[in-house]
């Protein structure tokens, strides 16, 4: 379902926060900036425990995978001290039981500031070609974390990149004093934000979901893994006139992967699903214009990265701004053909679903729920439960 191609990446220090990026005039220019050469670690040097149908993702050579680094990243991911006020961590928004997202319409930072967009799920993030809803320049996982760590408009975790007390915390905490040297052996000064970002990226690359009932049915040939209704829903999902797989295809059931072509402006795909058609010059809410915010191309208004549909049944609400509460709301939107926004994808033409077809399509989507993933202790909080003071 995916076509191997040349893999591209970018230098580890080229991207900072999504909101602070300069406004480029074309997607091609953005991709050119993001395409600096990256050397890759051989995937055979790390045991990925990959599900059927998955190929090992490439890893930057300057951040090779190791069990020690993954474990360090897991501790950091769940540490609320990795925030300006100790009120939240990466896991506050990316909750395992909800597919590493949450149930809010939009993200809320540790100081209570609302964000314009929904929390992205992290399942199979190692294969994403880009990581944010609408920023095509962030193409390496090590760079993605700079926004939640240091951004202040709005605040997510709210740390100070130049000097922060958390660096003193990790240098003096007995757990980190053991984990950092193991993760970065031979480094005399491992207690840095560069190493924090690398460890977080290493852990996040292991957050792999590929053991849903549908995976067992399709890739492991367990004929009874899904219902007859879900089988009929699979046929609906992958065939015209519904075109669901046009945006949610491949083993990730999401947008462009690193194994698909990334040559030129057509490599990384952002799509307008016609969610809005408001009066005014932009037709979308002014704080959520999508790819247009980076290209200033009117054709890019309302274009966002299609998220993965794995574990979608536990990830309500839906859309980039959480504006749809249920899967039925989503199906209604696509069935009526969006809002007829001029920029919406031509594949969104509308269709008719009988009650049985709707039930079948929902059964298929529910078959993408990976209970092992949602409860895997390897992804869970490693910190000891602390008694209330």
Which residue in 7, 60, 10, 8 sits closest to 34, CA to CA? 10
Q: What would the pLDDT profile of 114-158 be if each residue is shown by its tens digit? A: 999 999 999 999 999 999 999 999 999 999 999 999 998 899 999
Domain membership flag for residue 186:
yes
Is it the case that residue 261 has pLDDT exceeding 60?
no
Mean pLDDT for 350-360 is: 97
Question: What gap in Å lies between CA 231 and CA 331, rounded to an integer?
Answer: 18
What is the C-alpha to C-alpha distance for residues 370 and 16, in angstroms, rounded to an integer?
A: 33
Establish if 131 belongs to a structural domain.
yes
Pairing of strands 59-60, 40-41: antiparallel
In the predicted model, what is the mean pLDDT of residues 274-280? 96
Report, as an integer, the average pLDDT of 5-34: 37
> Inter-axis angle of helices 174-183 and 67-77, to 10 degrees?
140
Q: Which domain holds residue 38?
A: 18-209+374-379
What predicted TM-score, i.e. pTM, was given to this entire model?
0.88
The angle that helices 193-205 and 174-183 make with each other, rounded to 10 degrees, is: 80
Residue 386: pLDDT band with limits 50, 70, 90? low
Q: Answer whether residue 90 is part of any domain.
A: yes
Q: Residue 365 domain-assigned?
A: no
Domain assignment present for 289: no
Indicate the number of domains in the chain. Answer: 1
For residue 271, the cross-strand partners are: 304
Q: In the block, which residue shows the tokens 């055979």?
A: 44
Find the CATH number of the domain harbouring 180. Answer: 1.10.760.10
* DSSP-derived secondary structure for 367-378: TT--HHHHT-GG
Widest Cα–Cα separation across the chain: 65
Short-list 383, 382, 376, CA closest to 123 = 376
Cα 151 to Cα 149: distance, rounded to the nearest angstrom: 6
**Using 50, 70 and 90 to split pLDDT, how confident is the model at 41?**
low
């Amino acid at each position: 379902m995916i076509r191997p191609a040349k893999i591209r990446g970018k230098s580890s220090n080229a991207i900072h926060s999504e909101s602070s990026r300069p406004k480029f005039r074309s997607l091609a220019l953005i991709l050119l900036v993001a395409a600096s050469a990256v050397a890759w670690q051989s995937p055979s040097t790390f045991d990925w425990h990959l599900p059927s149908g998955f190929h090992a993702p490439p890893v930057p050579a300057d951040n090779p995978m190791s069990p020690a680094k993954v474990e360090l990243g897991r501790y950091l991911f769940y540490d609320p001290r990795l925030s300006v006020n100790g009120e939240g961590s990466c896991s506050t928004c990316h909750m395992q039981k909800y597919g590493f997202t949450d149930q809010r319409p939009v993200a809320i930072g540790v100081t209570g500031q609302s964000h314009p967009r929904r929390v992205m799920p992290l399942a199979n993030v190692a294969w994403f070609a880009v990581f944010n809803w609408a920023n095509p320049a962030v193409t390496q996982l090590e760079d993605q974390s700079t926004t939640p760590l240091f951004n202040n408009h709005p605040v997510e975790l709210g740390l100070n990149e130049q000097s922060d007390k958390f660096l003193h915390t990790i240098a003096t905490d007995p757990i980190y004093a053991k984990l950092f040297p193991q993760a970065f052996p031979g480094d005399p000064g491992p207690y840095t934000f560069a190493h924090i970002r690398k460890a977080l990226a290493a852990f996040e690359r292991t957050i792999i979901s590929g053991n849903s009932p549908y995976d067992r049915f399709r890739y492991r040939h367990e004929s009874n893994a899904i219902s007859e209704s879900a089988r009929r829903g699979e046929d609906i999902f992958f065939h015209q006139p519904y075109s669901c797989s046009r945006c949610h295809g491949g083993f990730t059931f999401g947008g462009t992967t690193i194994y698909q072509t990334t040559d030129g402006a057509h490599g990384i795909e952002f799509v307008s699903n016609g969610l809005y058609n408001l009066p005014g010059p932009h037709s979308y809410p002014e704080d959520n214009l999508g790819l247009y915010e980076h290209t200033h191309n009117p054709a890019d208004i309302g274009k966002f990265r299609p998220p993965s549909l794995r574990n979608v049944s536990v990830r309500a609400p839906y859309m980039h701004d959480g504006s749809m509460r249920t899967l039925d709301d989503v199906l209604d939107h696509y069935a009526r053909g969006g809002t007829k926004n001029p920029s919406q994808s031509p594949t969104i033409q509308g269709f008719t679903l009988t009650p049985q077809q709707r039930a079948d399509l929902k059964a298929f989507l529910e078959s993408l729920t990976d209970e092992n993933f949602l409860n895997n202790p390897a992804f869970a909080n490693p910190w000891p439960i602390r008694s209330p003071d």
